[in-house]
Amino acid sequence: MKIADLITWFEEWANPAWCESWDNCGWQIEPGVLEEEARVLVCLTPTLAVMAEAIALNANLIFAHHPLIFNPPKSLRSGEPLGEMVKLAFTHNIGIYSAHTNFDQVNDGTADVLAQMLHLQAVSPIVPTQSGLGYGRVGMLQAALTLQELLTTIQHQLNPPKLIFSPAANLQQQISRVAVLGGSGAGFISAVVKTNAQAYLTADCKFHQFQESRDQGLILIDAGHYATERPACDRLVQKFQSLNLNWVQLSQEDEDFRQFLP
């Protein structure tokens, strides 16, 4: 499959026009690879380490969740990460494409994959956007779990370096309705409360957002940005494999940019 055909297929599924006004979905760098047979390296974040990996693997497309360019750069300079990414992309003929807030909304996108990993039933978006799609997912567990069991399940499924959750007096509390949203989802707390979810799995939560959540009777669970979004990248690889691409692989150089002392 040519890169142009792959991008057409993807955009029919996750239209880049759906992205938020502050976002930058779609082509980040297109050095003239549209007619080439697709060799795709999928990653969460396009970094110089991922670019080096793409070069070593002879990939011609880095397909990323996070945009390389959020705001128009004022300059591109050698020695600076963005400038080096651009230089290497054109030197080695490697395109960089981003699917961000458009990918967040769709079935099998970032939130939907989390819902599937927790086997949520009767799932619906936390905030609907169009055609039954939207941000986040909320649904019922197959069988009620204690809070301790839910936290253990999340730890096992996502393997985050740290799992942070709201103060809870009783880890034996029964949980049946759960909301999920990969990445920075604390801004959706009020919307989650309206769904009657008892627990909310997301990332990048601040101190007072845990207070806000607790005060509204919602257990906030922060598993980290990387851990909550990386599974959707793996799912994207599987979907690309179903198209019989010549070569597609999940990046092994993707990074969680936070580290914790044991």
Burial degree of 233 (CB within 10 A; 0-12, 13-18, 19+): buried
For 153, residues 6+ apart whose C-beta sits below 8 A from its C-beta are 118, 145
Residue 168 has pLDDT above 80, yes or no: no
For 154, residues 6+ apart whose C-beta sits below 8 A from its C-beta are 118, 160, 163, 201, 221, 223
Q: Is 256 among the annotated ligand-binding positions?
A: no
Give yes or no for a contact between 78 and 242, defined as CB atoms under 8 angstroms apart: no
What integer is the mean pLDDT of 209-237? Answer: 96
Q: Is 229 among the annotated ligand-binding positions?
A: yes
For 166, list phi and psi in degrees, rounded to 5: -60, 150
Q: Is 254 among the annotated ligand-binding positions?
A: no
Percent of the chain with pLDDT over 90: 94
DSSP class per residue in 9-61: HHHHHS-GGGS-TT---EEEE-SS-TTSBPEEEEESS--HHHHHHHHHTT-SE
Question: What pLDDT does residue 8 have?
Answer: 98
- Per the listing, tokens 């399940």 go with 153
What integer is the mean pLDDT of 22-31? Answer: 97
Q: Is 208 among the annotated ligand-binding positions?
A: no
Q: Is 119 among the annotated ligand-binding positions?
A: no
| Residue 120 per-residue DSSP state | -
Residue 228, helix vs strand vs coil: helix
Question: What pLDDT does residue 262 have?
Answer: 81
Residue 158: other Cβ atoms inside 10 A: 22
Kindly report the average pLDDT of the chain as a whole number. Answer: 96
C-alpha–C-alpha distance, residues 190 and 195, integer Å: 9
Per-residue pLDDT of 42-92, as tens digits, reads: 999 999 999 999 999 999 999 999 999 998 899 999 999 999 999 999 999
Give yes or no for a contact between 70 and 81, defined as CB atoms under 8 angstroms apart: no
Percent of the chain with pLDDT over 70: 100
Question: What pLDDT does residue 130 have?
Answer: 86
Question: What pLDDT does residue 92 have?
Answer: 98
- For the chain, the C-alpha Rg in angstroms (whole number) is 19
Question: What pLDDT does residue 216 have?
Answer: 94
